[in-house]
Each structure stands twice: as structure tokens, then as C-alpha cells.
Structure 1
Amino acid sequence: MTKQSIFGRISQLAKANINAMLDSAEDPKLMLDQMVRDYTASIADAESAIAETIGNLRLLEDDYREDVEAAKEWGGKALAASRKADELRSAGNATDADKFDNLAKVALGRQLQSEKEAKTAEPQIASQTQVVDQLKNGLNAMKTKLGQLASKRDELIARSKSAAAQAQVMDAVKSIDLMDPTSEVSRFEDKIRREEAKVRGASELAASSLDAQFESLEDLGELTEVDARLAALKSGQAAAIDQ
């Protein structure tokens, strides 16, 4: 994978609209799982590429500081050589004075070269710094998006489990519907009602038999009374005849 492709994926993934992608998915949970895996892999690739880019920037910065420091040192050497030449020339030693002036020129040439290299590196460092900042921002956006994806996936899983639990409860409620004549509860209720009716019928039958017995006793009492009166009547008549 080249840096350009990694950087392009950083930009594309960081700008991805999660909701729009989910709307077109047949199974959002499966898609989110895949997206989380893709994002995690892309973040790892991006971190490696960005680390290399930052490393290159730091090398440029190191070279720049070395060039600046070298230019400063060569400038100091040129100044020292020039002063030494002036001292020798004042002392009447023109030959040695010329040698130190030549050394000063060499040092100045080295100073100019170092300054040129430092100046050339400045725009490269500025451009590379801007690129690194953009990549860091893109990487942070990807990590934020990854957190959103993980949260969305967990939310969907929770909602799916809740829906499944509700469906299970509804199925259970339907299976014990007391108003359903085909349900087991209704069948048991009907059986119990029949048993209760049978007991009531037996009770009524027992009560009816007892009433009949009491009615027989009443009839027997009336017959006995009739016989007694008849006997008394006969006894009264016999006494009247005797008189």
C-alpha cells in the first residue's frame, strides 16, 4: 500500500457518512462490524505511514538546524581569520596576513553554502509540517469515527436483542390467551365448569330427595290423625247406643 493510497483512504473514511451508509445496507450490524474492521486496519496503516512522514520531517529539521549552526560556526571562523590577517598586516607581515584572509574567504564560502542549504530546506519543512498536521487531523477524525461506529454497532445489537425479547414475550402471551377456545387454559376451564355443574346437580338431587321424605312423613301424620278421629267417632257412637 502506497502512502498516497493510505492518505486518500484517511480523507475518504474520515468524511464517510455513517447514517447514509447504513440506510443502503441490508444488514447494518454486519456492515458496521466490517466497517469497524476496515477502519481499524486503515488506522493502523495510516499511523505507520504518518510516523514515517513525521520521521522524514524531523530529519529535514535536523539537517536545517545543522546547516544554521554550521553557517554560524563558519561565520565565526571567517571573522577570526579576518582579524588575525588584520593583526599580521598591521605588524608588517603581509604574506601571512594574505593567508588568513584567504582562510576567511574559504570560511565565508562555507558559510554561504550552509545558509543556502538552510534556506532551501525552509519551504520543504513548512510544506511537510502542513502535510503532517493534515494527516494528524485526518487520523484523529478517523479515530473519532471509529468510536462512533463502535457505539452505533453496540446500540444496534442492544436494540436487536430488545426486539427479540419483546417478540418472545408476545409469542408467550399469545400462547396463553384465555379467550382462545383452542388453548389449553380454556379447555381446562371448561372441564372444571362441567365438574362444578355436576356437583351442583348432585346437590339439587340430594335436596329434592330429602324434601320428598319429609313430604311422606307429613302424609303419614295426616293418615294417623284420620284413623284416630275415626276411632274416636266410633267410640262415641257406641256409647250413645248403650245409653
Structure 2
Amino acid sequence: MSKQSIFGRIAQLAKANINALLDSAEDPKKMLDQMVRDYTNNIAEAETAIAQTIGNLRMLQDDHAEDVRAAQEWGQKALAASQKADEFRTAGKALDADKFDNLAKVALQRQLSSENEAKQAEPTIASQEEVVEKLKSGLTQMKGKLTELQNKRNELVARQKTAQAQAAVNDAVKSIDIMDPTSEVSRFEEKVRREEARVRGQQELAASSLDSQFDQLQDLGEQTEIEARLAALKAGGAQGQLSN
């Protein structure tokens, strides 16, 4: 299992989750919380995959160590059999000597087989060790990104709350403007002014009517004076005629 196969699959999953969240985002806080949960799950999935990869590597290493150990043991057995064959040959026991030489050859064959298996496994082990180190590094980076995501989530949620609080203040200010008591006073003042104007109009109208009445009385007085003088003239004329 390679680094790309693990993190590539997880990256595609994470990207799909994020795109789905962005498409259906209504509440930013819920979206961010879900992103944190999804990324945490992705890390857990990566940890499981990496643990399996490490487990496979350890099995390869154990098998390699077993092959190396077996090669050493077969080498020791080959040496012991060869030495035993030499002893029998020195003693003139050629048949026994050949028997142990054959055992030495079998041991050497087993030794060679174990060495070959160990050598064949070494490139694979080296490659898997490199992959495991990269996977560990990638996992560390993922955890760092998770911390960044959590911090960013906290920051954005705090900023959202601040924005909401500011919006509430702005709404309150607008409400104060709408319910501005000075505007109500102005309306009342305008009403009073109209009432005062109406009263002045009535007063002017009343004064106009009173002046008209006085004018009528003045006209009546003049007419009475004229009538009195006319009567006087007539009375004076009549007296003059009588005296003659």
C-alpha cells in the first residue's frame, strides 16, 4: 500500500465531503463542525490504513530476520557436519565421512536458500520502510491541518457571533431612529402650530365680525344724528314761519 493510494483516496473523500457541505451550507457553524468531524474521521481511517501497512512491514522484517537467522543456523550445521566428516575421514571411516559431508551439503543448500530469500525481501522491505516513513509524515501533517481547521473554526464562529452582535446593535439603532422621540415631538409641535393657527384664524374672524358690528353702530349713530338735525331744521323753520 503506497502513500498515494492511502492519502489520495482520503483526499478525494475529504474534498467530496467539503464540496457537499459548501453546497448545502446554511449554518456556517454546523458546516465547520461537520468538516472537523469528517476530517477527524479521515485521520482515523488513515491511521488504520497506515497501521496495517506498518504491520505488513513488520511481518516482512520478521520473515527477513528469520531467514537471516536460519541461514546462520544452517551455516553452523554445515560447519559442524563438515568437521564431523573430517574426523571420520581422519579415522579412516570414509563411509561415515561421506555421510556427514552430504549432510554438510544439505545444510549449505538450506543456508543458500535462506540467504536468497533474505536478499529478495530486502528491496521490498526498504521500499516499504520508505513508504511507512512518508505515511507517518503525512499523518502528522494531517493532524496539524486538523488543529489548524479547529482553530479556524473557533475563529470563524467567534467572528460570526461578533457580526451577529453588531447586526443586532445596528437593528437596535435603526429601531431607535424609527422610534425617535424627537420626531414624535416635532409631529406634536406641528399639530400645536396648526391648532394655534386655527385659533388665530378664529380670532381674526371674530374680530372682523365685531368691527363690522361697530361699523354698523357707527353708521346707525350718524343716521340718527342726521335725522335729529333734520328734525331740528324743520322745527326751526316752522318757528320762523310762526313768528312772521
- Shorter-chain TM-score category? 0.5 to 0.7
Structure 1 residues 108 and 65: CA distance shift in structure 2, 3 A: same
Which secondary structure does the structure 1 equivalent of 2:92 belong to?
coil
5+ residue gaps, structure 1: 17-21, 192-243
Structure 1 residues 101 and 73: CA distance shift in structure 2, 3 A: same
Rounded Cα–Cα distance in structure 2 between residues aligned with 1:29 and 1:190: 46
TM-score by length of 2: 0.64
1:184 counterpart residue number: 181
Q: Would the aligned equivalents of 1:68 and 1:115 in 2 still touch at CA under 8 Å? A: yes
CA-CA distance at 1:34 after TM superposition: 3.4
1:120 counterpart residue number: 120
Identical pairs, percent: 67
Which secondary structure does the structure 2 equivalent of 1:113 belong to?
helix
1:51 counterpart residue number: 51
CA-CA distance at 1:186 after TM superposition: 5.7
Rounded Cα–Cα distance in structure 2 between residues aligned with 1:144 and 1:13: 18
1:187-206 pair list within 5 angstroms: 187=184
Q: Does 2:172 match 1:172?
A: yes
Q: Would the aligned equivalents of 1:10 and 1:142 in 2 still touch at CA under 8 Å? A: no
1:161 counterpart residue number: 161
1:33 counterpart residue number: 33
Cα deviation 1:133-186 (Å, max 9, x = unaligned): 121122111111111111111111100101111222233234335xx7x52366
Residue type of the alignment partner of 2:112: L
* Root-mean-square deviation over aligned CA pairs: 3.3
Rounded Cα–Cα distance in structure 2 between residues aligned with 1:11 and 1:165: 36
Rounded Cα–Cα distance in structure 2 between residues aligned with 1:160 and 1:166: 10
Rounded Cα–Cα distance in structure 2 between residues aligned with 1:145 and 1:34: 15
- After the TM superposition, which of the residue ranges 103-112 and 182-191 deviates more from structure 2? 182-191
5+ residue gaps, structure 2: 16-20, 189-244
- After the TM superposition, which of the residue ranges 37-46 and 102-111 deviates more from structure 2? 37-46
1:79 counterpart residue number: 79
TM-score by length of 1: 0.65
Rounded Cα–Cα distance in structure 2 between residues aligned with 1:25 and 1:147: 24
